[in-house]
Amino acid sequence: MSNRKEEILEKSIELFNEKGCIATSTRHIADALGISVGNLYYYYKNKEEIIIAIYEEFMNTLSGQLSTVREDIDSSFDFYLFLEEHMELEKKYRFFRLEMNAIIQNHPKQKEKLELGIVKKSQEFRNLYSHQMKYGYLKKLDESELDFIRSNTWIIGSQWEIYWILKKVENEKLRRIKGILNILYFIKPYLTKKGLEESNLLESIDYLKKEISDVK
């Protein structure tokens, strides 16, 4: 991909995260890059294309980062590592989570793309939970309950930030730590004794709690 095309994407992400996707006009982006609007439209035929391209970039990074649980190996999942990576990604593309519904309303094409994303994520969670259940790290749950745990994982994992914004946690890093804790605490009650002992979930929680007081 040409450099300029990539630049536009990066600057767009930056501005979208800063001022919101809808509130950022194509002129804003062009100005921020010091190029003409015409030039912007040379690379992307409309604003929606930019959003789609960003989402595709996001999805690709997602794929590369997919949890590496191996079906045949009995090992506890490294929650901390996974969430750190997950959060890093979510950070870069946070405007998606935050404006998801408004984006859908404005750009119907984008909806389909987002739907694909959710399917992918769901699949990932399902694999992960099944694996951990199989080897006794996770309590046995029926299909229906598992289904809702998966959806709750997605909801918490992608919508935590708005809560901490409204709770006036201004520091971005702090917010992110709290977001990770949201997920860790959410998972905790589903772990078996073995799970609690052999995974790093509890340690991770302790570590992050210390981080919070350090930041403060």
Partner DNA sequence: TATGAATGAGAGTTCATTCAT
Partner DNA sequence: CATGAATGAACTCTCATTCAT
**For residues 107 and 80, what is the distance between their CA atoms, to the nearest angstrom?**
35
Non-local (6+) Cβ contacts of 98 within 8 A are 20, 161, 162
* Residue 63: contacted member of a copy of itself, DNA, none (CB under 5 to 8 Å, by partner type): none
Beta carbon of residue 71, minimum distance to a copy of itself (angstroms, whole number) = 25
Does 99 help bind a copy of itself (rule: CB under 8 A)?
yes
Does 41 help bind a copy of itself (rule: CB under 8 A)?
no
Query: From the list 101, 170, 214, 216, which residue makes contact with a copy of itself (rule: CB under 8 A)?
Result: 101
3-state secondary structure of 123: helix
121: its two tokens = 């994520």
Nearest to 58 by CA among 101, 124, 28, 13: 13
Does 46 help bind DNA (rule: CB under 7 A)?
yes
Place of tokens 């006009």: 25
* Residue 151: contacted member of DNA, a copy of itself, none (CB under 5 to 8 Å, by partner type): a copy of itself
- State how far Cα 129 lies from the chain centre: 18
Please report, as ranges, the residues that interact with a copy of itself according to CB under 8 A. 19-20, 22-23, 98-102, 104-106, 111, 114-115, 117-118, 144-145, 148-149, 151-152, 154-156, 159-160, 162-168, 178, 181-182, 185-186, 188-190, 209
